[in-house]
Chain A
């Protein structure tokens, strides 16, 4: 079995890759850089500060809760703790393609509050200059405007973890009229 590019091409690829890895990181100070956890919601790219995320878990055994608002998709059991799963697409007015095993849960925790955000895919953690994060455009309003920190030129929407966690609307207190 021979490579279609031949041994010279393979050498060129390896050399190029080695040079890329050998490149030093940019000389900017680390304070001006943030690490963002990038995920997608209905093919749109969103991000959270990686330092504020507890961890990422696969979506397993989602139990829907009756008599709850639509954004609360249900409960999951994560290492013995029950975590509510919030679907941000309900807030951002994005289309709902349905839930599969491929979905991920981005777990946020502050004190006793622990919620899971439903994400279609999780791309990974990347490093971005703070200066590249632009303020929210004025045309965005409503709940979305409250959650968004800013937007990068790559159309990566950076969400505010604190705003989400402190939103009183996420507190569910409803009764079923019997």
Chain B
């Protein structure tokens, strides 16, 4: 039985179905045989009837021939009689070939054949020959009598033969029906048995396997061994299911360990088509990389969160400082507003004073005109002074010439005194008195020389002074000319100044207007600064909230770090 179980399922099916088919073939053979027997019986009966009909025809032809003279008809009837004789012989021959089944029937056929042979000889040898010869009476005699009794006997025998053959056929049919019923019931039982057994050996294990597959489908991996100890397809299917289950359990174990964070497991794909194994290996590889990246990311996140926390703390501090600064700025803007108000008033005052300055500059212009005229008069006076100085210089030169003459005279006097002294010396003792006179003369000459030297010195001073005065007069003249030019220029400048001052006056009016606008603008700025102050205070609140949030992010980063530490690489 075990060996049978180890056969291939196909083989089992072929064996079972083959057995059934063999029974059906047997049944068919038996039916064929029975049908053949019945057919033979029927054929015997038919041929017996045909023989009887042929005999009747023969009889009819002979009787017709005996009664008609027409040559043509007679010829046709002779041909028909010959043909009839041949067909009867054929029927007889066929009946002989069918007589192996029943000895009684065979005896009856051989008896008929013997009688028909005699009948045939008589018919062909005597009746028909006589008829051809036209010996109708002889022929009639030959056909009646003994030939007629033979005919009657043979007709009876043919009827018996037919009945016997029909009875035999009916008997055979009944026998065949019972045999069929028996064999059919047997074949049905056998088929049911084989069906049940195939169902038992194939469908049962498949059902349990289906249940296991259903459990696997809903994720329940059976831990019991699924092997049947069989080596047919079902057994192999069980083994394959068992391997699949083991593999899945292994994968499940690996997935479990992965779920517990242990990524150190390694999976070798069981074949190169192991999609799940490869996917698991790839998944673990990717998870390792991913977890490593997540580690790094969490570290970065943690440090970033710390930095953000620090930054937000600083931001909060900065926002506070900004709020303080904005508050100060608001105060400053208020001061600026007051200053702008003041400058507006000042601008108005400047505008007024610019108008006054315009009238003053007009007066200044007139004054410079007067100054220019005065400068022209001074220039004329300076020219007069210059002429006087030139005259004075000439006269002092004349005085110098006079002094030179006096000096020359002094020199001559002195020389005269020296010569007088020489003469006195030559006179010796008598010239003593004269020597004294000469000495006195020389002394006078010396004094004259000193006086003229003083006069020359004074005159030199006078000349120097005169030169300086001439120079100064010249310079003064130049200065006066420059003064005239400058006063003219000053007049023009003041003219221009008047224009500028009037422009300045207009500008001052515009400045006053602008200053007013500025005041309005500064008022708006002050309002805006108030808004900014409010916004800044809100900023401070936001910064504090952000600080809290950043602290939360920092804590989250640390928590993530702890979670990531649960993954062992």
Q: Footprint of B on A, CB under 8 Å?
A: 30, 35, 37, 50-51, 53-58, 102, 104, 122, 124-125
Contacts and interface: CB of A to CB of B under 8 A. Distances in A.
User: Chain B CB within 10 Å — which of A50, A51, A125 has the most?
Assistant: A125
Those 4 A-B pairs whose CB atoms lie nearest each other, nearest first: A125-B421, A50-B425, A35-B425, A55-B419
A19 B296 CA distance: 134
Contact of B412 (A37, A58, A125): A58
B417 interface: yes
B422 interface: yes
B415 A124 contact: no
A58 B425 contact: no
Contact of A37 (B418, B435, B438): B418
Interface in B399-427: 411-412, 414-415, 417-419, 421-426
Main secondary structure of the interface of A (DSSP, over half): strand
30 contacts: A35-B421, A35-B435, A37-B418, A37-B421, A50-B421, A50-B422, A50-B425, A51-B422, A51-B425, A51-B428, A53-B422, A54-B422, A55-B419, A55-B423, A56-B418, A56-B419, A57-B415, A58-B412, A104-B415, A122-B415, A122-B418, A124-B414, A124-B417, A124-B418, A124-B442, A125-B418, A125-B421, A125-B424, A125-B435, A125-B438
A104 B424 CA distance: 20
Nearest to B412: A58
Contacts of B411: 58, 102
Given A50-B422, A122-B415, A125-B425, 9 more contacts: A35-B421, A37-B418, A53-B422, A55-B422, A56-B415, A57-B415, A58-B412, A102-B411, A124-B442
B70 interface: no
A56 B421 CA distance: 10
A35 to B, nearest CB: 4
Interface in B417-461: 417-419, 421-426, 428-429, 435, 438, 442
Contacts of B435: 35, 125
B434 to A, nearest CB: 12
Contacts of B442: 124
A51 B421 contact: no
A30 B415 CA distance: 26
Contacts of B425: 35, 50-51, 125
B451 to A, nearest CB: 15
A56 B412 contact: no
A37 B422 contact: yes
A104 B428 CA distance: 24
A30 B419 contact: no
A56 B429 contact: no
Nearest to B429: A30
Contacts of A30: 429
A58 B422 contact: no
Interface string B462-491: 000000000000000000000000000000
Nearest to B417: A124
Nearest to B446: A124
A132 B165 CA distance: 235
Contacts of A54: 422
A149 B20 CA distance: 202
